[in-house]
């Protein structure tokens, strides 16, 4: 996206992405205030319900993003900082506000760290559950579309051709995206290593 704005605010509400460009602002905090006072009430107040959603402020220079700040929009905190300037405990400083709205890894429960995913996959490939457990899970899954014999034949071929340590990686290559999703779901929810 090409823009001449010096800040862009990106809000994700109910899976929809909203982009708000802002010109001639001094810093990311001004962009947040502009978003809160000008765009949030009119654009998103009916959609976000509880007033909590991820929001990024992207600093731009010559049409290119040079820095991204990741926050969580919280209507109560924004109101306390931008409208009141205080909380029940006293003056609400910029440092405290920044700390309160900073988006942390634990605020993204559905996003695992890449190293965790690789470690889990490695553990699975080296010590996967009995094939009857995960093959049955795949066949019986509501999104499942293969019969047991078909999946069993794929697995048997990979196991015999590549051995037990490489079989799972090779099976992964043989599966379509839907079956990959089902196997991933099994590993994330049922596999206990």
Q: Would you give the DSSP letter of residue 142?
A: T
- 10-63 pLDDT, tens digit per residue, is 988 777 888 889 988 889 999 999 998 888 765 565 555 556 788 999 998 877
Q: Is the pLDDT of residue 118 over 90?
A: no
59/87 same-domain check: yes
Confidence of residue 107 (pLDDT cuts 50, 70, 90): low
Q: Which of 43, 76, 107 is the last residue of a domain?
A: 107
Residue 122 CA to its chain's centroid (Å): 22
Farthest-apart Cα atoms in the chain, separation:
69
pTM over 0.75: no
- Domain co-membership, 120 together with 99: no
Element (H, E) at 42: none
Residues 85 and 137 in one domain: no
What pLDDT digit, counting tens, does each position of 12-24 carry?
Answer: 877 788 888 998 8
Report how many domains make up the chain: 2
Last residue of a domain, one of 58, 77, 107: 107
* Residue 1 within a domain: no
Are 88 and 18 in the same domain? yes
Radius of gyration of the chain (CA): 24
Judge whether residue 100 has pLDDT over 80.
yes
Q: Quick one: pLDDT at residue 174?
A: 92
Mean pLDDT of the chain: 83
The residue segments making up the domain with residue 35 are 7-107
């Amino acid at each position: 996206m090409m823009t001449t704005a010096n800040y862009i605010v990106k809000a994700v509400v109910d899976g929809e992405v909203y982009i708000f460009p802002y010109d001639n602002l001094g810093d990311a905090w001004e962009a947040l205030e502009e978003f809160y006072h000008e765009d949030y009430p009119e654009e998103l107040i009916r959609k976000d319900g509880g007033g909590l959603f991820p929001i990024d402020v992207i600093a731009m220079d010559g049409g290119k993003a040079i820095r991204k700040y990741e926050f969580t929009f919280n209507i109560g905190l924004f109101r306390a900082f931008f409208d009141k300037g205080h909380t029940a405990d006293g003056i609400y400083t910029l440092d405290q506000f920044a700390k309160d709205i900073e988006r942390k890894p634990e605020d993204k429960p559905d996003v695992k760290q890449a190293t965790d995913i690789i470690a889990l996959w490695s553990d699975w490939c080296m010590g996967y559950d009995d094939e009857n457990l995960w093959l049955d899970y795949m066949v019986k899954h509501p999104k499942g579309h293969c019969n047991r014999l078909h999946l069993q034949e794929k697995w048997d071929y990979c196991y015999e051709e590549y051995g037990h340590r490489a079989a799972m990686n090779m099976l992964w290559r043989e599966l379509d995206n839907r079956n990959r999703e089902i196997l991933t779901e099994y590993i994330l929810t049922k596999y206990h290593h």
